[in-house]
Structures are given as structure tokens and as C-alpha cells.
């Protein structure tokens, strides 16, 4: 079974601000269960026009800030048990999402290298690292609140499968899904 890591540069004000500090190509991380990225899971903005209302999200890649996004997509082969653990964990977050907030303060403490783990709050890469760890997929050498999208891109369990325009990827994968299958007789 495979899972997918999506790192993006959405070119939003928050993304540009983070990029000024990190100098990294990508400053947002999401995790998905299928290559079509129908439901990437992350912590980010809840409403398209309000960047300050954030929390757990099943991202809608048709939103305007994703339309021009650049990305790198990674895949990782995992066991069926790890996959089930991850599905269960994401389901839990979905059912209890009102309990969680976006960890804006965590971005500041991360930048200052201050060890501050805010309860029930995540930023995107902290969330991805947490679910990878809690589901038994990967054991990190540092706490999830110190994990950046750049750190996730360096994980040995993930292999890059695409880099470029997110819209081009989504178009190519949808084309792939609709190609007629040859029947061998």
C-alpha cells in the first residue's frame, strides 16, 4: 500500500512570509492516501478568504491558492497495518477536528528553536510528522513540533514521483485514471 506526501508553495502571504525565513522551496505539507490527491490532509486555513482561521483540513485543491501552486509529490510503500493505523488516525482527527487549532505560535517557536509543544494545535509539517509517527510509519529523531516541510522531503522512506505545477500533476493523474484499459484475452 502507498501513501503520498505533498509539499507545496502556494505563494500566499503566509507562505511568502515563511519562505523569507526558511529559504526553502516548499513551505506547506500534506499527506494523502491516494495518488489522485482527492483528499490531502493537513493543518491550514479552514476558509479560502480567511488565512487566520486555521485547523485540521481535508484540502480542496481547486481553491485559488492551489491553482498556481508548485509542488513535489512523494510516495511511500507501507504495510497494510500501518495504512489502517493511518486511516484510523485521520478519521479520528476528522471526527474531532473542532478540538484542534492551527499552531501559529508553533511556527514562531520553531523559527526561534524554542521547545514549545502547544497542546491540540499543529502547523502542517508538525501534523504530518505526528501522524507518520503515531501510526508507526516513521520514527523521528526530533519532536514533531521541530519538523519542517524540508525535513519531510529528506525522509528516506519517501521517493519523489513528481515535481512541478500542482495543476499539471492533477491533470496528468486524472488522464491516467481515465485511459481505457487494454483487455488481454
Please state the pTM of the whole predicted model.
Answer: 0.91
pLDDT band for position 185 (50/70/90)?
Answer: very low
Q: How far is the C-alpha of 89 from the C-alpha of 94, rounded, in Å?
A: 9
What percent of the chain stands above pLDDT 90? 68
Residue 11 has pLDDT above 70, yes or no: yes
- The number of helices, as runs of H, and strands, as runs of E, in the chain is 7, 8
- What mean pLDDT, rounded, does the chain reach? 90
Query: Which residue, among 183, 177, 103, 180, has the nearest Cα to 146 in the 3D structure?
Result: 103
Displacement of CA 57 from its chain's centroid (Å)? 10
In this predicted model, what pLDDT tens digit does every residue of 56-86 receive, in sequence order? 999 999 888 888 899 999 999 999 999 999 9
Residue 179 has pLDDT above 80, yes or no: no
- CA quadruple 180, 175, 44, 162: dihedral, nearest 10: 110
Q: 106-134, pLDDT tens digit by residue? A: 988 998 889 988 999 999 999 999 999 99
49-54 average pLDDT score: 73
Domains of the chain and any CATH numbers = 2-178 (3.90.1720.10)
Considering only residues 73 and 54, tell me which one the structure prediction assigns the higher pLDDT.
73
pLDDT tens sequence across 127-142: 999 999 999 999 999 9
CA 146, CA 110: separation in Å to the nearest integer? 6
Amino acid at each position: 500500500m502507498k501513501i503520498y506526501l505533498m509539499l507545496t508553495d502556494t505563494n500566499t502571504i503566509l507562505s511568502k512570509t515563511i519562505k523569507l525565513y526558511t529559504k526553502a522551496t516548499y513551505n506547506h505539507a500534506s499527506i494523502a492516501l491516494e495518488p489522485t490527491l482527492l483528499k490531502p490532509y493537513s493543518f491550514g486555513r479552514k476558509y479560502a478568504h480567511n488565512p487566520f482561521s486555521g485547523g485540521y483540513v481535508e484540502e480542496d485543491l481547486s481553491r485559488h491558492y492551489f491553482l498556481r501552486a508548485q509542488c513535489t509529490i512523494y510516495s511511500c510503500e507501507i504495510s497494510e497495518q500501518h495504512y489502517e493505523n493511518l486511516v484510523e488516525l485521520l478519521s479520528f482527527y476528522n471526527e474531532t477536528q473542532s478540538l484542534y487549532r492551527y499552531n501559529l505560535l508553533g511556527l514562531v517557536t520553531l523559527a526561534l528553536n524554542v521547545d514549545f509543544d502547544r497542546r491540540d494545535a499543529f502547523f502542517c509539517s508538525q501534523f504530518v510528522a505526528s501522524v507518520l509517527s503515531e501510526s508507526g510509519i516513521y520514527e523521528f529523531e526530533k519532536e514533531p513540533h521541530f519538523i519542517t516541510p524540508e525535513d519531510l522531503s529528506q525522509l528516506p522512506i519517501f521517493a519523489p514521483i513528481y515535481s512541478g505545477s500542482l495543476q499539471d500533476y492533477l491533470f496528468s493523474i486524472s488522464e491516467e485514471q481515465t485511459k481505457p484499459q487494454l483487455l488481454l484475452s
